[in-house]
Amino acid sequence: MQKEQRNFQFDFLRPQHSLFNYFTKLVEQYTKVLIPPKGIFLKLKKEAEILDQVRYRVYRVKFQERERKKEEEKREKERVAYAQIDWHDLVVVETVDFQPNKQVNFPPPTTPEELGARILIQERYEKFGRVRRWRWRLRVKMKRMREKGQGGRTCCSVRPGHTAAGHGRGETTRVIISLGRGCYIFT
Residue 152 lies in a domain: yes
Chain segment 143-185, per-residue pLDDT in tens: 666 676 654 443 433 334 444 344 444 444 444 544 444 444 4
Domain that holds residue 144: 112-186
Chain segment 165-176, per-residue pLDDT in tens: 444 444 444 445
For residue 67, which phi and psi values (nearest 5 degrees)?
-65, -40
Chain segment 75-88, per-residue pLDDT in tens: 999 999 888 888 78
Residue 74 lies in a domain: no
Look at residue 110 and give its three-state secondary structure: coil
Residue 146 lies in a domain: yes
Residue 131 lies in a domain: yes
- What's the number of domains the chain is made of? 1
**How confident is the prediction for the chain on average, in pLDDT?**
74
Residue 33 lies in a domain: no
Residue 181 lies in a domain: yes
Q: For the chain, how are helix, strand and coil distributed in percent, rounded to 5?
A: 55, 10, 40
* Strand order through the sheet with 183-186: 131-133, 183-186, 175-178
Return the pLDDT at 142. Answer: 65
Angle, vertex CA 121, rays to CA 157 and CA 184, nearest 5: 60
pTM as predicted: 0.34
Which one, of 134, 154, 156, 133, lies nearest residue 144 by Cα?
154
Residue 22 lies in a domain: no
Residue 179 lies in a domain: yes
Where would I find the H helices in the chain? Answer: 20-34, 40-83, 112-128, 135-148
